Every structure is written in C-alpha cells, then in structure tokens.
Amino acid sequence: MVPRPWRVLGRRQETRDTFTLELEPVGGGDMRFGPGQFNMLYVFGVGEVPISISGDPARPACLVHTVRAVGSVTAAVCRLRRGDVLGVRGPFGHGWPVAEAAGEDVVIVAGGIGLAPLRPALYHLLAAREKYGRVVLLYGARTPQDLLYAREIERWRGRFDLDVQVTVDAATGGWRGNVGVVTTLIPGARFDPPHAVALICGPEVMMRFTIRELQARGVGPARMFISMERNMQCALGFCGHCQFGPAFVCRDGPVFRFDRIQGMFGVREI
C-alpha cells in the first residue's frame, strides 16, 4: 500500500509537546474511517509512524491527527506547517465497537493522549445520541496544561446528555477541577454496570487500574475495550513487529475486547 499525499491545512498546539494537524487530500477525495482506526503517517525522508485518527468520522474529507512529539518521526510530524505535505497510508485496524454499544450506557475512560483515539467515538455517540443510554467521559491528565482539546471539553461539559469528569494528577493556582488519578472518578460515575460498555485508552498502567476499578463496579471483562499501543511497522500483519501473543495490534487491534487478551495483559489478579 503506497502512501497518499495529504496537505496540512491547520496546526494547533494542544500542550507543550502535542499538536493537532488537520489534513486535506492533495488532489481531492476523502478517507472514510471508523472511530479508533489509525493511519501510518510518513514524513518524507524521516520515517513512518502509526497515529490514531482523532477527527470526526462524519467529516471524511478532513483528516485529523493529534501527535505527541516523543522521537524523531513524531517530532518531524509536529514540526510540519500549513501547506506542507506528508504521506498517509490507511485507515488500519479494528476500532471501537460503537455500533454494538447501541442501547447501552457508554463509559469512556481516557488518560493523557489516549483521548485522541477516543474522540471519534465520542463524536459518533453524540451524533446518534438517542441510540445510547448514559454517556460518560472520564478524562485524566498530568496537569491542567496537559489537557487535550480543552475548549471542546468545556463545550461538552455544558451538555445535558453527556457527563464529563476531568481530573489531573497535580494542580496549582487557578484549577478548580478534580485532582487525583482518573480511576478515582469511577466509583462516583453514573452508569449502570451490567448495561455499560467501557472504552479505555491511555498508558498501560492506567488502563490496568481502570479495568480493576470498573470490575469492582461490576462491569464484565467482555464489556471493556482497550486500545493497545505497540510499536509497529508494516500495519498489515506481515512483519510481526507489533505481535501481542497470538494477535497483531495492527491487524487485530488496536482495540481489543478485554476478555480476549486479558491473559496477555499482565493483570494478575483477574
């Protein structure tokens, strides 16, 4: 699969090291994708990285990616400016089970940049809001300055049909929100555990503790979905770079139903 050229239409700084890029296809067209799918972004002369799609699935002509600069390729992506062109292969992978979750409460638990791949799921739920029960977003970040999509979160908080709880690990001064890890939001969150589906993305440790806390509330392992980060190269299930037990993150994931991978996930108590 050959990368297609997309041009940077807009670039917004989210946090100190994280940027959101809006891309348009060079020569027209679009890219239909499901919430939770990812693309391989190729910066010419530097390299290629898997990055989740963080935009609205209902707007396929505008591709949105939120990227944290952690190494050479992601830093190069973050340095791109309006008008620059990069290569895109995708979309790849299995995303969030938003269709299967119809009729259920949906609890989204995001940590740090883990909100990026969950945002398309939230767009989808809000666009078909009447099909779902309660929708809850629990979001944790390191500090108030590390929150992604701050303005949009503010708007979501104003909605009557969405329960948004945000927490940070540490805060000084003007922050009037919650302080504590994201798992502390779970006991008080309003949803009906036997009828809830949980979509979880964040650092692995955070996901592990989130799963425990959700289980303590009575959410079964077949109702929890997590997005696995694993370094990958081909994105087509050939190279084995991202193998996770018998599964390939690129082809079978990145979203997995928890009961299907819990043996490999290192959650000893379960």
Partner 1 sequence: MHTLEPILAEHPFLKGLRPAQLQVLVGCASNVRLDAGQYVFREGEEANRFYILRAGRVALEVFVPGRGPVVIETVGEGDVLGWSWLFPPYQWHFDARALDLTRAIALDGDCLRRKCEEDHDLGYELLKRFAQVIMHRLQATRLQLLDVYGHAPAR
Ligand X SMILES: Cc1cc2nc3c(=O)[nH]c(=O)nc-3n(C[C@H](O)[C@H](O)[C@H](O)COP(=O)(O)OP(=O)(O)OC[C@H]3O[C@@H](n4cnc5c(N)ncnc54)[C@H](O)[C@@H]3O)c2cc1C
Residue nearest to ligand X (CB): 71
For partner 1, which stretch binds (CB under 8 A), given 2-10, 83-91, 128-136, 163-171?
163-171
User: How far, in Å, CA of 40 to CA of 77, rounded?
Assistant: 12
Select 73 or 107, whichever has its Cβ closest to partner 1: 73
In what helix (H) or strand (E) does residue 173 lie, and over which residues does it extend?
none
User: How far, in Å, CA of 219 to CA of 232, rounded?
Assistant: 31
Beta-carbon contacts of 249 under 8 Å, excluding residues fewer than 6 positions away, are 93, 228, 229, 230, 232, 242, 243
Contact between 120 and partner 1 per CB under 8 A = no
Q: Rule CB under 8 A: which of 123-152 touch partner 1?
A: 140-142, 146
Select from partner 1, ligand X, none the partner in contact with residue 243, using the beta carbon and a kind-dependent cut-off of 5 to 8 Å.
none
Select from partner 1, ligand X, none the partner in contact with residue 269, using the beta carbon and a kind-dependent cut-off of 5 to 8 Å.
none
Q: Is the distance from CB of 186 to CB of 210 less than 8 angstroms?
A: yes
Select 30 or 192, whichever has its Cβ closest to partner 1: 192
Q: Is the distance from CB of 201 to CB of 111 less than 8 angstroms?
A: yes
Contact between 27 and partner 1 per CB under 8 A = no
Dihedral pair phi/psi, residue 234, rounded to 5°: -85, -30
Instruction: Please give the single-letter amino acid code of residue 42.
Output: Y
User: How far, in Å, CA of 151 to CA of 137, rounded?
Assistant: 15
Exposure b/e, 186-217, CB count within 10 A at least 16 = b: beebebebeebbbbbbbeeebbbbbbebbbeb
Select from ligand X, partner 1, none the partner in contact with residue 72, using the beta carbon and a kind-dependent cut-off of 5 to 8 Å.
ligand X
Select from partner 1, ligand X, none the partner in contact with residue 38, using the beta carbon and a kind-dependent cut-off of 5 to 8 Å.
ligand X
Contact between 158 and partner 1 per CB under 8 A = no
Contact between 176 and partner 1 per CB under 8 A = yes
Select 68 or 89, whichever has its Cβ closest to partner 1: 68
Select from ligand X, partner 1, none the partner in contact with residue 158, using the beta carbon and a kind-dependent cut-off of 5 to 8 Å.
none
Select from partner 1, ligand X, none the partner in contact with residue 147, using the beta carbon and a kind-dependent cut-off of 5 to 8 Å.
none
Cis preceding linkage at 91, omega within 30: yes
User: How far, in Å, CA of 108 to CA of 198, rounded?
Assistant: 6
Question: Which pair of tokens denotes residue 65?
Answer: 């990616």
Provide the binding-site residues for ligand X, judged by CB under 6 A: 38, 47, 49-52, 66-68, 70-74, 113, 116-117, 229-232, 249, 254
List interacting residues with partner 1 (CB under 8 A).
52, 68, 70, 74, 111-114, 116-117, 140-142, 146, 167, 169-173, 175-181, 183-184, 187-188, 201-203, 205-206, 209, 227, 229
